[in-house]
């Protein structure tokens, strides 16, 4: 078996996994071993080498960043330009001079330092928006290995891509990959449309496109979780957690504090629900866990202030003796503790305005008691909605009335319907878990790399040769 080399912005610490990317890949890396390479904050003059980090089942290397690199590469270009653009928030683009140059320079330096650690038989899998140009930098250094990319965020519409001053370069970065993996079929459609809108793009059967003499392959691979393992964690947590003090039904939201998650929208929707359901028997206690993230970025400061103001407003309007409608927790909570809260919750309210997948939705389903399951109220703009639409109550987070109606429907849903919906969703989670996601993507990557090598050989004879697509054999949605 070829060694798997993962590249991502951060390398996981030894211990229980946290974060969607790490949770999804931990089992794969634990089972097959390999190498995980990423970056970390460093000093003013970081060493020009990769630093080994502790790890039991697979090797880990990190590249320290200077403070200037962290400012312009991570906080700047990655999170103040690419992140809002990828989520369709081009109004929040914060472009400063030198950010893009630093972003590309960090990717080139990572490629240079990683090159001596790579073997000819390795399979390289690069993750997320921080490292999109990395494959091009590796190809320039002569790396011919299969290289795949997976984007954990949504892919934006063509108009958002064109808002970048260098949109052609952004698209060209993807041409160095053997396979671009996205979360949903909707993302694949947007990806293809972005190239069509850029001009001179030809769609080839099998979701391949020919663009500026490059062949680019793309597919949908919805990221999964270990549903059975998360259920076991939730059951263990229930046995050790103190029961909630409130006797009211519990509704929960768990998100990083990010403007893409629609947390203020859900509070406005909950406020609308409370105004329409003042009776004590309809009362719901809402716990929102929103740990801080990227607090140095202005847009995140704004959403924090808005959320604090709204939660205070709702509590001021509807609190009563023994009843506080909103409990807002602005700190990190252990994953095991969250699993217990998800198990206890009657409703999960998940309202992203635009999300690649949203694994909390899947974790809520996995955590539930199948005999008396809670109800998932889910934004139709979450990637998870594509898989779970048959079991979740889908809502429009931009419309408070839609959110309120989703809460009302969940609160009144009979147990028979709840069981039916939960069983349908849980079956999907078990069939498309994290191991399935990684295995299906890597098989597709290997097949795609074989065709690239074949076409390069044909190109050496003066012709691209006939384009036959391997994608029909791919187990993902391609």
Strands 326-329 and 284-289: parallel
Dist. CA 345–CA 375, nearest whole Å: 9
Q: Are the CB atoms for 213 and 222 separated by under 8 Å?
A: no
DSSP string over 295-313: TTSHHHHHHHHHHHHHHHH
Strands 123-127 and 147-150: parallel
Residue 374 token pair: 């809670």
Please work out, in degrees rounded to the nearest 5, the angle formed at the alpha carbon of residue 27 by the alpha carbons of 23 and 31: 160
Residues 88/90/95/101 CA torsion (nearest 10 deg): 40
Q: What is the biggest distance separating any 2 CA atoms in the chain, rounded to whole angstroms?
A: 81
Dist. CA 55–CA 60, nearest whole Å: 6
Dist. CA 80–CA 388, nearest whole Å: 31
Residue 72 token pair: 């312009």
β-bridge mates for residue 326, sequence order: 286
Candidate list 152, 258, 405, 422, residue with the active-site label: 152
Please provide residue 60's backbone torsions phi and psi, each rounded to the nearest 5 degrees. Answer: -140, 135
User: How many residues make up the chain in this entry?
Assistant: 478
The verdict on whether 152 is a catalytic residue reads yes
Candidate list 122, 178, 346, 355, residue with the active-site label: 355
How far apart, in Å, are the Cα atoms of 383 and each of 16, 217, 289, 353, 386?
A: 25, 20, 21, 11, 6
Q: Are the CB atoms for 262 and 397 separated by under 8 Å?
A: yes
DSSP string over 336-359: HHHHHHHHH-SEEEE--SSBS--H
Residue with tokens 């972005």: 194
Catalytic residues: 152, 355
């Amino acid at each position: 078996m070829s060694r798997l080399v993962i590249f991502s912005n951060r390398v996981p610490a030894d211990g229980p996994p946290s974060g969607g990317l790490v949770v999804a890949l931990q089992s794969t890396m634990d089972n097959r071993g390999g190498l995980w390479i990423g970056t970390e904050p460093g000093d003013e003059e970081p060493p020009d080498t990769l630093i080994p980090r502790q790890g039991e089942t697979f090797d880990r290397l990190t590249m320290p960043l200077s403070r200037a690199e962290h400012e312009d590469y991570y906080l700047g270009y990655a999170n103040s330009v690419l992140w809002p653009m990828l989520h369709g928030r081009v109004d929040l683009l914060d472009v400063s001079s030198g950010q893009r140059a630093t972003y590309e320079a960090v990717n080139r330096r990572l490629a240079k330092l990683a090159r001596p650690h790579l073997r000819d038989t390795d399979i390289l899998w690069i993750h997320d928006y921080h490292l999109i140009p990395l494959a091009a930098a590796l190809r320039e250094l002569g790396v011919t290995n299969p290289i795949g990319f997976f984007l954990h965020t949504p892919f934006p519409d063509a108009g958002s891509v064109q808002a970048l001053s260098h949109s052609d370069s952004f698209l060209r970065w993807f041409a160095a990959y053997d396979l671009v993996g996205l979360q949903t079929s909707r993302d694949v459609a947007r990806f293809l449309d972005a190239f069509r809108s850029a001009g001179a793009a030809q769609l080839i059967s099998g979701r391949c496109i020919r663009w500026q003499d490059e062949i680019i392959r793309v597919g949908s691979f919805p990221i999964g979780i270990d549903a059975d393992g998360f259920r076991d964690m939730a059951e263990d947590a229930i046995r050790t957690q103190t029961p909630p003090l409130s006797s009211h039904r519990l509704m929960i939201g768990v998100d990083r504090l990010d403007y893409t998650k629609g947390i203020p929208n859900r509070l406005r929707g909950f406020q609308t629900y409370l105004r329409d359901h003042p009776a004590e028997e309809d009362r719901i206690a809402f716990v929102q866990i929103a740990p801080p993230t990227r607090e140095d970025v202005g847009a995140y400061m704004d959403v924090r202030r808005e959320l604090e103001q709204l939660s205070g407003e709702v509590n001021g309007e509807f609190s009563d003796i023994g009843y506080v409608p909103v409990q807002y927790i602005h700190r990190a909570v252990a994953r095991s503790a969250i699993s217990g809260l998800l198990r206890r919750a009657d409703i999960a309210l998940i309202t992203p305005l635009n999300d690649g997948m949203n694994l909390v939705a899947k974790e809520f389903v996995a955590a539930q008691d199948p005999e008396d399951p809670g109800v998932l109220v889910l934004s139709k703009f979450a990637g998870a909605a594509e898989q779970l639409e048959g079991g979740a109550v889908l809502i429009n987070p931009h419309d408070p009335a839609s959110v309120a109606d989703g809460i009302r429907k969940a609160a009144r849903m009979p147990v028979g319907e709840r069981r039916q919906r939960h069983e349908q969703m849980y079956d999907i989670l078990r069939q498309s878990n994290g191991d399935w996601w990684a295995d299906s993507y890597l098989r597709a990557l290997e097949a795609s790399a074989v065709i690239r090598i074949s076409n390069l050989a044909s190109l050496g004879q003066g012709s691209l040769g006939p384009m036959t697509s391997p994608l029909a054999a791919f187990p993902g949605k391609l």
